[in-house]
Amino acid sequence: MKKLLYIVKSKLLYPITALFILMVLFIFILVLDKDGERNFVTSFDRSLIGVINIDGVISSADEHLEAIEEMLMNDRVKGVILRVNSPGGVVVPTYEVFQGLKRLSEKKAMYVSMGTIAASGGYWVSLAGDKIYANPGTITGSIGVIAENVGVKGLIDKIGLKMRILKSGVNKDIGSPFRPIHPAEKELLQGVLDDLHQVFISSVLENRNLDVANYDNLFDGRVFTGNQAKAVGLIDEISDYYGVLQDIKIDLNLPDAKEYVFLKTKDDGLFGFFFGNGMVDLMNNFLIESKHMAGAVFWSIYGY
């Protein structure tokens, strides 16, 4: 009986081992050879092109600043692609992201790839790049600031409600939707917007070599297509993401560099570590292809 078991084990051991190895190799090939690209970053890859994605409305800077810090501290990252697909955002987070990106661009080459939309604050953060690329149909520009609210006093009066407001300063309820805005209040708020607009304009002038004759047309909040933006000097080149990737590899003389996308680790315990982002980050992460979709978002409260 023991001899029979020994024979069975001997005959099954090698096929099972071989099958297991083949399965591992198959999975490995799927990971490494997606769409013809070698997408897995290993510790043997000494030169990487970092990718920072800015998607959607910029309402917080924390996640973006964490990615920026990783790109700064990782010595294997030789250059960075900033992939922008954003209609803009809240003033302070947008400013903080821009400043962080400027610090990064001072240390490492950074090229910007605009997706569907990179307007208002999305354009502002793009100014940090050494070169700005857009698709022909990218919507960009919108260099301005907007603040909106809805007046509901007429509705409140019709349904018989009355707002009671106590305040310690004459302008404490400035912009209240429950009463008409006074001319003096409108002037104050317009001053705030104009000041923020000048900060935006200063960033454009400091980072783009623009024709003075075009200023009035550039800074009135209008949007441009990628082609129009290139014609007036708001961007440098027309190209899709993969064209930008090839350009930065050529310019840095790194033809074999792989893309590296920083993924924030989630604290999901041991299961999350081994099966979630923890293990992915530990293994230097998988390449996330930059395929984005973004719709037009109209900003409301003090937004770029």
Mean pLDDT across 102-127? 97
What percent of the chain shows pLDDT beyond 70? 71
Q: How far apart are CA 229 and CA 131, in angstroms?
A: 13
Residue 172: active-site member: yes
Output the domain CATH number for residue 273. 3.90.226.10
The dihedral region occupied by 36, where left means phi > 0, alpha psi between -120 and 50, and beta the remainder, is: left
Mean pLDDT across 128-145? 96
Strand partners, 9: none
Domain count, the chain: 1
Q: How many CB atoms lie within 10 A of CB 111?
A: 25
pLDDT score of 303:
54
Q: Answer whether residue 184 is part of any domain.
A: no
Q: Answer whether residue 32 is part of any domain.
A: no
Q: Which two tokens stand for residue 257?
A: 């560099």
Q: Answer whether residue 249 is part of any domain.
A: yes
Residue (of 53, 63, 59) closest to 299 by Cα position: 59
pLDDT score of 105:
96
Print the domain residue range for 248.
Answer: 39-144+211-282
Q: Answer whether residue 291 is part of any domain.
A: no
Tell me if 40 sits within 8 A of 286, measured CB to CB. Answer: yes
Residue tagged active-site, from 9, 172, 186, 264: 172
Residue 168: active-site member: no
Q: Answer whether residue 69 is part of any domain.
A: yes
pLDDT score of 107:
96
What does the DSSP 8-state code read for residue 288? P
Kindly tell me if the per-residue pLDDT of 62 is higher than 90.
yes
> Which residues, other chains included, contact 42 with Cβ-Cβ below 8 Å and sequence gap of 6+?
283, 284
Residue (of 115, 111, 88, 127) closest to 221 by Cα position: 88
Cα distances (angstroms) measured from residue 188 to each of 98, 202, 220, 277 = 27, 21, 20, 47
- The whole-model pTM stands at 0.74
> Which residues, other chains included, contact 91 with Cβ-Cβ below 8 Å and sequence gap of 6+?
121, 145, 196, 302, 303, 304
Q: Mean pLDDT for the chain?
A: 80
Model pLDDT for residues 172-205, shown as the tens digit of each residue: 888 888 888 899 999 999 999 999 999 999 999 9
Q: Answer whether residue 34 is part of any domain.
A: no
Q: Answer whether residue 150 is part of any domain.
A: no
Lowest-confidence region among 54-63, 77-86, 221-230, 291-300: 291-300
Residue tagged active-site, from 120, 126, 239, 290: 120
What band does 26 get if pLDDT is binned at 50, 70 and 90? low
Mean pLDDT across 264-277? 48
Q: Answer whether residue 51 is part of any domain.
A: yes
Kindly tell me if the per-residue pLDDT of 10 is higher than 80.
no
pLDDT score of 135:
97
